[in-house]
Amino acid sequence: MPRLRGSRSPIIGDVTITNGHSVPLAPPRVPAARGRLRDVPVIGPKRVLLAAPRGYCAGVDRAVVAVEKALEQYGEPVYVRKQIVHNVHVVSTLEQRGAVFVDDVSEVPRGSHVVFSAHGVSPAVVAGAADRDLHAIDATCPLVTKVHREATRFAKAERTIILIGHAGHEEVEGTMGHAPDRTILVNGPADVAALDVPDPDNLVWLSQTTLSVDETMETVRLLREKYPSIENPPSDDICYATQNRQVAVKKVAPAADLVIVVGSANSSNSVRLVDVALEYGAKDAHRVDYAEEIRQEWLDGVRTVGVTSGASVPEVLVAEVLEQLADAGYGSVEEVVTAHEDLMFSLPRELRTDADGKSTRPLGGRTR
């Protein structure tokens, strides 16, 4: 049932399933008390290697601000199809401010405002919103929109599209929806051997934007071995932020006894950061939503802790992790910088003016 205007009842239960994980929504938690972790001596000095870039990318910043601005401009409730970004804390915080998250536009009352998430939607979803006279605000990341346009163009040219991505992920569903009859999904390298396509000489590959760069390139290598004439997309589909965060973790991992990745279980790029850390030399790696999830036993014998966060994680959650680690003796923090990000995206056109009708600044990058 839709929530009544002004109500503050939280969403409880599992609302989105991606990457094989069911992720619950709940009110923002109260941060754990300081001093929960003990400072246990180890051989040698303790330190933290803090990866940079980390956290919010331009597309996430744009999407989150879009919901905030929509609430300011139109009042609550503002409906959001799916999680605006894949982060439990962000979604729960917005829910408390008056956003109502739904799985399908059919759940949105006629004539209401609805925001499409950063992961994008298919044309069928857009049409469904129009049929209900909804005022749609498209917060799709422009880098995802780029892939949608590529899929549409290749489908019109009657090309067969091999889409590398995770089945069930909202971004994949949205992209496939732009070329449903011309797209074949490949989850990773293991799927290539069994692949059977109708026209091997008429292929092009595209990818989900938040995948592991290394695994995607291995999938492409195997595709090229099997189908030598397969074409590349016009430009790299894996987004700059995903690549930058993976590069930073690769730099940190060889020196880390433990890597902590802040991010939610249904965030592809966060989950991949754990994998990349282990592949590039970290002795151990774990993902947490919140600092209080760090376990004392993870720190046994650990001198160097690497810390990073997925592209949908606000910096406040990383700061809380650093505070907890400081209580455990890891107060020396060295930032490992591998790139500087300054990309910014404009808000959706419906939100580009303030209350006085003046144009707003572009939004994006690591501003939050």
Residues that are catalytic:
171
Q: Which amino acid is at 319?
A: A
CB distance 124 to 145 below 8 Å: no
**Structural tokens at position 205:** 């590959």
The CA distance from 104 to 146, in Å, is 23
Q: Are 336 and 50 in contact (CB under 8 A)?
A: yes
Burial 254-269 (b: 16+ CB within 10 A, else e): eebbbbbbbbbbbbbb
